[in-house]
Structure 1
């Protein structure tokens, strides 16, 4: 595991791919390999929702995906599961408001990358105080990838965070595609995070390439 500086985290957030077994139409390992070839800059293993893997199966897939990322030099983030992140020596953890507290995660994971999903300035300030390295904001557009998604927040949430002095790296999530990714960057985000736009694409590599061009 490498320690990343703030400017490096900004760059890593450019094209942030999030995926679990239920998001793919084919082998998740192959999907990740294709996404990396297409230019993703960061990967998050998010094994949640109906039909998702549990226990040893979840760990085994994590190990396979982690190896793909490690071989390609792509940092590997684990969604919510702090114990799994520690066990794998993953590069970081991402938590939502309903998951473990950011301060607890920081204590457990040391200097690993810590991302926190926030929806208000107050949540953002608390996350920063607790040691977050970046914030996830969304859903920016309507999404079907998360069954626990909140109401659509639009680009204004990013603009408002920046106007209110939130300078920490920000990644937008929710319904982002190659056609609207540039708008998310222009609103003040450092990058975009996606699930279905890559995982469910007919051509994962091509979809990733198009998204990469949109955010650069």
Structure 2
């Protein structure tokens, strides 16, 4: 019998879903001419179970239309679908969750309008992680772990020491993010990463399935 993977399912199984998982994020500028939709299809075929839509350069209508198509693809294939920042779009397409940063609308305000959604929050120091756990955030982003070129306004590199601290002191799920590649992902794993946010290393690969398989072999 097919298990229905809705918001309730993802919330109840979030830790299991995050453990040793790739948390894939789109990035058309790194994808060798492939569209976000093409990338998502390849990622789903590679059996990645978490996908975040993060798009800074397109207008609201174009992002909405892309997310509508991605919502169908992820729902049909049991993939957890997170929208970055655009809470209105996340609500409109009935995404499973939304991810916010420290300078975005505060968590409590997001929770008030997206009550059944999974909500993730970026952190780059111990105080932010402790506060996120205290107020009830579902999971946190931890980083940047390594220097990154995919986010121009990225916070200063938090490093492996912060990742290790989170793994030992924070009880909610976390995803390591920032400059993670096949060549350094083992360092993140050895320092307690639960899941791994990856952008250019996957979307920019000549063969996405092959790249995902290599990474999964390392983290599992």
Q: Distance in 2 between matches of 1:143 and 1:91?
A: 27
How far apart are residue 129 of structure 1 and its match? Answer: 2.5
How far apart are residue 179 of structure 1 and its match? Answer: 2.6
Q: Distance in 2 between matches of 1:92 and 1:152?
A: 26
Deviation beyond 6 Å, 4+ runs, structure 1: none
Question: Relative to 1, partners in 2 of residues 1:132 and 1:87: Cα closer, same or farther, differing over 3 Å?
Answer: same
Deviations 1:78-104 (A, max 9, x none): 001111111111100101101111111
Q: Which position in structure 1 is the counterpart of 2:24?
A: 17
Question: Relative to 1, partners in 2 of residues 1:215 and 1:154: Cα closer, same or farther, differing over 3 Å?
Answer: same
3-state SS of the aligned residue for 2:25?
strand
How far apart are residue 6 of structure 1 and its match? Answer: 6.3
Q: Distance in 1 between matches of 2:9 and 2:163?
A: 23
TM-score for the superposition, normalised by structure 2: 0.89
Q: Which position in structure 2 is the counterpart of 1:93?
A: 98
Q: Distance in 2 between matches of 1:70 and 1:212?
A: 22
- Contact kept, 8 Å, 1:45 with 1:78, in 2: the verdict is yes
- Contact kept, 8 Å, 1:78 with 1:94, in 2: the verdict is yes
Q: 1:140 aligns with which of 145, 155, 169?
A: 145
Q: Distance in 2 between matches of 1:23 and 1:131?
A: 34
Q: Which position in structure 2 is the counterpart of 1:154?
A: 159
How far apart are residue 16 of structure 1 and its match? Answer: 0.4
Give matches, 1:7-46, under 5 Å: 8-13=13-18, 14-25=21-32, 26-46=34-54
3-state SS of the aligned residue for 1:40?
coil
Which segments of 5 or more consecutive residues in structure 1 lack a partner in the other structure? none
Quick check: 149-158 or 39-48, which moved more? Answer: 149-158
Report whether the alignment pairs 1:81 with 2:86.
Answer: yes
- Report the RMSD for the aligned CA atoms in angstroms: 1.7
Q: 1:130 aligns with which of 128, 135, 138?
A: 135
Give matches, 1:154-193, under 5 Å: 154-163=159-168, 165-193=169-197
Q: Distance in 2 between matches of 1:112 and 1:150?
A: 26
How far apart are residue 73 of structure 1 and its match? Answer: 0.9
- Contact kept, 8 Å, 1:103 with 1:131, in 2: the verdict is no
Q: Which position in structure 2 is the counterpart of 1:2?
A: 7
- Contact kept, 8 Å, 2:138 with 2:173, in 1: the verdict is yes
3-state SS of the aligned residue for 1:175?
coil
Q: Distance in 2 between matches of 1:180 and 1:166?
A: 23
Q: Which position in structure 1 is the counterpart of 2:121?
A: 116
Q: Which position in structure 1 is the counterpart of 2:219?
A: 215
3-state SS of the aligned residue for 2:71?
helix
Which segments of 5 or more consecutive residues in structure 2 lack a partner in the other structure? 1-5
Quick check: 180-189 or 130-139, which moved more? Answer: 180-189
